[in-house]
Structure 1
């Protein structure tokens, strides 16, 4: 059995290897070139995470070709990925997609996981719908079991992150039994995508499923029993995005500190102005609070078995992170002045990602309502 110290050493090694690789293969200029290409293939660095680093299976159990590090691996790697604006398709494929597959072991899921670990398959989670507004059980996509035992899927999904890069979708659908999870190949007849770039430089798509017919083994788990797995997957993804934001905000703080130390007014660096020092201190405190709460929730999730406790903790972390994204993001732009909004400067790209994280998997108001509802149920 791996000891805690051995696990920490392994995670530190993976972080260091990932940071060096991204510095070499996905620097800011390289990312700009990749954005300009705007194709439907995964980012150029993606294959290297499997081929050169072998870290795509870090979180998976050893029985499924991984290192067995669990959620701790995601929380260790996401800040580094965030610092390079490279969180997708890791978030969709490993945190959500592989997380759902590993909880439904079998020949079909294990074979797809092996392709994911080798970098041959990319997954996207097709859950949100045009009307759903972050409600996790509001799914109208229909699943029907036909007389020959095959499955038929009809419905629409909105803003599916990493969908243009994906080889497979993990789709939520409703039948008379409740919510279910299905694996749908991107090239299945009846699947139609409307792909587009997102404001932070990622890729997403709206997807229509029109009489998509699937074999029975496309169903993950039991029909109608998927809501607890959906809730857990989205909570883990929310916490992973919180971890991603720490890397983004640290980069923003670093760039902002460098700028105010170099920029001079009245013959002195503007970093010497007391009002700016107070602003920087507020930004730093918001970041450190978000970092500490994210780490604390990650440790708690390793031991808690209560879905209610997990939900309260994750939503609390997301609220703190959203506040930090706003405080640090807006502060970075304002302290840079007009340069903070230019495409040529990295700060604008990081601020856009931080702004989208504020609302990803639910804005602060949604998470505050969730915490209040859970408190009332106690």
Structure 2
């Protein structure tokens, strides 16, 4: 199978890689992390100017005609640099909700604003009781008599939710809390009356928010897609997000491996470099194998992200998550152990890479969760 990039895709990869090298050194990243938003607004504007914010969207929707492969290219480079900007939330996750759920007019308006860097979105979906079940939604949406809705409920772990200017909120119009039908999507201004946000840093240096909705009104034009049939759209958007996370993880694993090999070549014990020890050479070789296994699944994820068969797409993404999680854990642990104590310090990048890889593994279900799902759904190639 041919995995070669087109000349345009190679140029995109090279441009993003160059931007990360020039603007995203580890010391610079610490400065971005310490800023009020927790990321660089100047770089966000650069992403817009380079076309990165519109890369995955069709031209008719205000994008640049790319797709999952372009997302993969960008996210792999972001993973190497440990980029903090809300690209995953705004462009990948919320962008997918708009692509697959919104009407043509809605898409053009909202995606155009995202591509221009004028709007930052976050998806407020997870709740404290829901775990990894996307259909477990207790936040309610009640018709107000004028064609609109009134939302009440709480959402947790909303990625970059404290800096978003708009929220896409899942809420239940009918049925029991764990029913698959009756879920809608609503576009809500982050500063609308009744919205309360509490932001906080996460373990990997990014940010999230707890958000409460108390009698928050959503006008009829704030409804995204069918009012009560949003779950298939949510599942598809999460599958596309898993594919993007796989690419980010491969980028982070690649960086961890590069730093580890370089350390083995320079760190000396007993008068020789520790890379001359055969046991450490074997461990580094095992890291390379784990990385290549993860990279193969990254390619599978990019190919399957656009699959219309929801069952086949879900099986593929479970296989991707299982392998990515296992490779990430192995490479992260080996990188920290072979670096020794320095990898445990805040000032050194390897520990931060491992933290991000750990959070990626946990997102939308860790490796063990997805192995169980694969067992329930049948093998990947059944």
Relative to the length of structure 1, the TM-score reads: 0.94
Residues 137-176 of structure 1: pairs in structure 2 closer than 5 A: 137-176=135-174
8 Å contact 1:42–1:89 — kept in the other structure? no
Spell out, residue by residue over 1:110-158, the C-alpha distance to the aligned partner (whole angstroms, 9 max, x if none).
2221111111111111111011111010000001111122211111100
Residues 209-228 of structure 1: pairs in structure 2 closer than 5 A: 209-228=213-232
The answer for the alignment partner of 2:282 in structure 1 is 278
8 Å contact 2:318–2:374 — kept in the other structure? yes
Deviation at 1:6, TM superposition (A): 11
C-alpha distance in 2, partners of 1:40/1:344? 17
- Given candidates 334, 337, 342, the residue that maps to 2:340 is 337
Deviation at 1:33, TM superposition (A): 1.0
Q: Which runs of 4+ in 1 moved over 6 A?
A: 4-7
C-alpha distance in 2, partners of 1:101/1:125? 11
C-alpha distance in 1, partners of 2:7/2:39? 33
Deviation at 1:105, TM superposition (A): 2.7
C-alpha distance in 2, partners of 1:84/1:42? 13
> Are positions 1:295 and 2:299 aligned together?
yes
- Given candidates 302, 325, 328, the residue that maps to 1:325 is 328
Deviation at 1:87, TM superposition (A): 5.7
Residues 108-187 of structure 1: pairs in structure 2 closer than 5 A: 108-176=106-174, 178-187=182-191
- Given candidates 227, 248, 251, the residue that maps to 2:252 is 248
> For the structure 1 residues 40 and 265, does the alpha-carbon distance in structure 2 shift closer, same or farther, using more than 3 Å as the test?
closer
8 Å contact 1:26–1:45 — kept in the other structure? no
- Given candidates 43, 46, 49, the residue that maps to 1:48 is 46
Deviation at 1:41, TM superposition (A): 6.7
Residues 190-229 of structure 1: pairs in structure 2 closer than 5 A: 190-229=194-233
8 Å contact 1:253–1:332 — kept in the other structure? yes
8 Å contact 2:194–2:214 — kept in the other structure? yes
Q: Structure 1: where are the runs of 5+ without partners? A: none
The answer for the alignment partner of 2:76 in structure 1 is 79
C-alpha distance in 1, partners of 2:365/2:159? 14
8 Å contact 2:38–2:206 — kept in the other structure? no
The answer for the alignment partner of 1:24 in structure 2 is 22
C-alpha distance in 1, partners of 2:37/2:99? 30
Deviation at 1:301, TM superposition (A): 3.8
The answer for the alignment partner of 1:230 in structure 2 is 234
Spell out, residue by residue over 1:31-85, the C-alpha distance to the aligned partner (whole angstroms, 9 max, x if none).
111122243675541111002x122111101101212111221112110011111
Deviation at 1:312, TM superposition (A): 0.6
> What is the number of residues matched between the two proteins?
372
Residues 328-367 of structure 1: pairs in structure 2 closer than 5 A: 328-367=331-370
- Given candidates 15, 36, 39, the residue that maps to 2:37 is 39
C-alpha distance in 1, partners of 2:35/2:62? 33
Relative to the length of structure 2, the TM-score reads: 0.93
8 Å contact 1:312–1:374 — kept in the other structure? yes
C-alpha distance in 2, partners of 1:298/1:39? 30
The answer for the alignment partner of 2:178 in structure 1 is none
Spell out, residue by residue over 1:12-45, the C-alpha distance to the aligned partner (whole angstroms, 9 max, x if none).
1111111111222222111111122243675541
C-alpha distance in 1, partners of 2:323/2:205? 24
C-alpha distance in 2, partners of 1:217/1:93? 20
> For the structure 1 residues 42 and 309, does the alpha-carbon distance in structure 2 shift closer, same or farther, using more than 3 Å as the test?
same
> For the structure 1 residues 39 and 89, does the alpha-carbon distance in structure 2 shift closer, same or farther, using more than 3 Å as the test?
closer
8 Å contact 1:40–1:164 — kept in the other structure? no
Deviation at 1:345, TM superposition (A): 1.0
> For the structure 1 residues 301 and 111, does the alpha-carbon distance in structure 2 shift closer, same or farther, using more than 3 Å as the test?
closer
Q: Secondary structure of the equivalent of 1:166?
A: coil
C-alpha distance in 2, partners of 1:310/1:373? 15
Deviation at 1:108, TM superposition (A): 3.5
The answer for the alignment partner of 1:64 in structure 2 is 61
